[in-house]
Amino acid sequence: MAQSTGFTTLVQGQFINRSAEDCGKFPGAVSVLLLILSSLMMAFPFMYSRYTESVNNGQAQHYRGLGSAWLALAGEGGNFKIENGAFVPDPRAPKLLKIAGWTVFLGEAPSKEEASPFLAFVKDRVLIHSGDYGVNGPLSVLNGINGPALEKLEQNFDGFTAFVKGSLFSLSTAEVPGAFVQIIGLMFLQNFIFVLILGMFLAMSGLRIAYQTPGSRRAVGYWASLKTVAALTVGPSLVAALVGGFFPTWGIAIVMMVYSLLLGVRVILVYMGRFKNKKKVLRA
């Protein structure tokens, strides 16, 4: 099957039962790639939501006075240092600093009752909270920062401002790539299980056809049905990705419902089509 013919079959298969059945002839590797592609498209709304939330939380305008908190750390934090992703406080420095409405915690976690805004260095994390916005990032982002270096940096207003804004954004987005990997993995696993179930459902049509008209139909294998369903995931996942992209406020549940409903209905139509075209049903 030529590449162009295969692509045409894939596109037509999203709407035409005959072409959907032809997708069962695709090589197994192609079916796996299609499943990965649909999983990536399904993951897009979740990844987009995660990214925009992180970027929004990392905007300096949400944390008025954060620079003062860093200045307090530079002036009163002593010879602290951040190395190997951990905060090492100066034993002579206070554990808590207050300035311009901000509270700075040096090595201790703020209590649940602690009112924001605050800047906290807790084990291997940096917590920054102000009003409705907050950042919880890995301290490894700030490796190499220490008291003397920060005190020296504060002498350069532009450099210090760039540090405050840059560190805030970096802390907010540092774990986004890892979150993307998790989202894609979960989407693929969920998609894979869904395809296995729908593939089994579609393959069972052969049993019903055999019962109703024994000897008058061609066998329908599970492998061919599985590859057919894998190809059919492309259309619904594209629609779900567009819905999630254009209407992010609709929520994740709506996106998943759109995908599941469209794919389920499409598989049912192929299932019903096998009874209308018994002589044309593919064999695995």
Full DSSP string of the chain = --HHHHHHHHHHHTT-HHHHHHGGGS-HHHHHHHHHHHHHHHHHHHHHHHHHHHHHHT-GGGSTTHHHHHHHHHHHS-S-EEETTEEE--TTS-SEEEETTEEEEESSPPPTTPPSPEEEEETTEEEEEETTEEEEEEGGGGTT-BHHHHHHHTTSHHHHHHHHHHHHHHHHHTTHHHHHHHHHHHHHHHHHHHHHHHHHHHHTHHHHHHHHSTTSS----HHHHHHHHHHHTHHHHHHHHHHHHH-GGG-HHHHHHHHHHHHHHHHHHHHHHHHHTGGG----
| CA nearest neighbour of 135 among 246, 65, 81, 57 | 57
CA pair distance 26, 165, nearest whole angstrom:
51
At 71, the amino acid letter reads: L
CA pair distance 235, 15, nearest whole angstrom:
9
| CA nearest neighbour of 39 among 176, 194, 179, 177 | 194
Q: Cα 194 from chain centroid?
A: 19
CA pair distance 110, 103, nearest whole angstrom:
9
CA distances, 178 to each of 39, 175, 191, 235, 281 (Å) = 17, 5, 20, 27, 44
pLDDT attached to residue 259: 94
Beta-carbon-side half-sphere exposure of residue 271 (alpha carbons within 13 Å)? 19
At 280, the amino acid letter reads: K
Taking phi over 0 as left and psi of -120 to 50 as alpha, with beta for the rest, 87 belongs to beta
Look at strands 125-130 and 133-138 and give their pairing: antiparallel
Tens digit of each residue's pLDDT, the chain (284 residues) = 444 478 999 999 999 998 998 999 899 999 999 999 999 999 998 998 899 999 999 999 999 999 999 999 988 988 899 999 999 999 898 989 999 899 999 988 888 777 789 999 998 999 999 999 999 999 999 999 999 999 898 889 899 999 999 999 999 999 999 999 999 999 999 999 999 999 999 988 766 655 455 443 444 678 889 999 999 999 999 999 999 888 877 777 888 899 999 999 999 999 988 877 655 544 44
Domain spans of the chain, in order of start:
3-52+176-280, 60-173
